[in-house]
Amino acid sequence: MRYEAPTSTREAIALMSGAKGDAYLLAGGTDLLVRMRGEFIDPDLVVDIKRLPGIQEIRKTARGFSIGAGVPCAALGRHKPLLRAWPGVVEAAQLIGSDQIQGRCTIAGNLCNASPAADSVPALVAATAKAVIVGPGGRRRLAVEKIITGPGATSLGKGDIVSAIELPNRPPKSGDAYLRFIPRTEMDIAVCSAGVSLTLGPRNVVKQARVALGAVAPTVVLVPKAARAIVGTRLEDDALQRLAAACEAACSPIDDKRGTVEFRTEVAGVLARRAAVIAYERARKKR
């Protein structure tokens, strides 16, 4: 196996697009190395992106935040402006693994690994995050939900590299939150999860909302009907009930020892309700 750690993006793209055999990008390696060692994959080439220019930086831009694809999740929580603007995205990213894993794992890797249970993805989808993709065809920007096409499958082409994840600026009175269910308090994979992002208008009435669910379908699902259920409300009980019902209707989970279909479906609705309430409180407390 060849290992390369290019220092220019052009070189990285050339290595990946010119590769014969199986080539993989390496970010934090917390999925890739596990799959290599478990002999699920047998790479001929691994291209480490961590030495690419700017890949380890979180930048404030005119549009919002640009999080380099090499930034470990532990660094997200240390970035105060990001934490203030997008607490739900940061809390989702920081649920991944232990402190050891946090020091390595990235949200770009979490996205590109395309697990239906990836923790940061529902929060990113709710947040209207975009992936910046560089590749043989140049540079483009794509909504994160357009990257994942199925369990372990993405829409990325040969030589495409996600160079950063972008989060927009926040209007005033906005908040987000992410919750997952696991059978213990740490170090487990989500049985189901929910991310909610919302913005309040006059008199704290919900003006805009996005609700996304994890681990209840082959990919993360955006549930516009759940968002519509709370727009125009102050999260009164009946609004929350409609939100939960819309979430339940959007679930098509697997049935396994970690959670039955009924359990995952019901809990997804409960988590979405609770996440909505947390996001609402965060938004209300902001100016």
Partner 1 sequence: MKGIPVSTTVNGDDVEFVCDGRETLLDVLRNHLGLIGAKEGCGTGDCGACSVMLDGQLVCSCLVLGAEAEGREIETVEGMADGEKLHPLQQRFLEHAALQCGICTPGFLIAAKALLDHNSSPSESEIRYALAGNLCRCTGYDKIVRAVRAAAGDVRRQQKARARRKAAAQN
Residue 5 contacts partner 1 per CB under 8 A: yes
Residue 48 contacts partner 1 per CB under 8 A: yes
E strand residue ranges, 104-172: 130-135, 138-143, 148-150, 153-154, 161-168
Q: Which of 13, 16, 26, 217 binds partner 1 (CB under 8 A)?
A: 26
Rounded CA separation 70/47 (Å):
13
Using CB distances below 5 to 8 A depending on partner kind, what does residue 48 bind out of ligand FAD, partner 1, none?
A: partner 1
Q: Phi/psi at 133 (nearest 5 deg)?
A: -115, 130
Which strand (E) or helix (H) includes residue 84?
Answer: helix 80-85
Residue 8 contacts partner 1 per CB under 8 A: no
Which residues contact residue 184 at a Cβ distance below 8 angstroms, ignoring those fewer than 6 apart? none
Rounded CA separation 124/130 (Å):
8
In the three-class reduction of DSSP (H, G, I as helix; E, B as strand; rest coil), residue 208 is classed as strand
Rounded CA separation 153/145 (Å):
12
Which strand (E) or helix (H) includes residue 68?
Answer: strand 64-68
Using CB distances below 5 to 8 A depending on partner kind, what does residue 24 bind out of partner 1, ligand FAD, none?
A: ligand FAD
Residue 7 contacts partner 1 per CB under 8 A: no
Interface with partner 1 in residues 56-75 (CB under 8 A): 72, 74
Radius of gyration of the chain (CA): 19
Q: Nearest 10 degrees: CA dihedral of 114, 117, 119, 121?
A: 50
Residue 241 contacts partner 1 per CB under 8 A: no
Residue 3 contacts partner 1 per CB under 8 A: yes
Least distance in Å: CB of 32 to ligand FAD? 4
Contacting positions for ligand FAD (CB under 6 A): 24-32, 34, 49, 69, 95-97, 101, 104-106, 108-110, 112-113, 118-119, 156, 161-162, 187, 189
Residue 182 contacts partner 1 per CB under 8 A: no
Rounded CA separation 249/231 (Å):
18
Rounded CA separation 176/272 (Å):
11
Using CB distances below 5 to 8 A depending on partner kind, what does residue 118 bind out of partner 1, ligand FAD, none?
A: ligand FAD
Residue span binding partner 1 (CB under 8 A) among the ranges 97-105, 116-124, 201-209, 278-286: 97-105
Residue 99 contacts partner 1 per CB under 8 A: yes
Q: Which of 8, 21, 34, 61 binds partner 1 (CB under 8 A)?
A: 34
Which parts of this chain interact with partner 1 (CB under 8 A)?
A: 1-3, 5, 26, 28-30, 33-34, 36-38, 46, 48, 50, 72, 74, 97-101, 103-104, 185-187
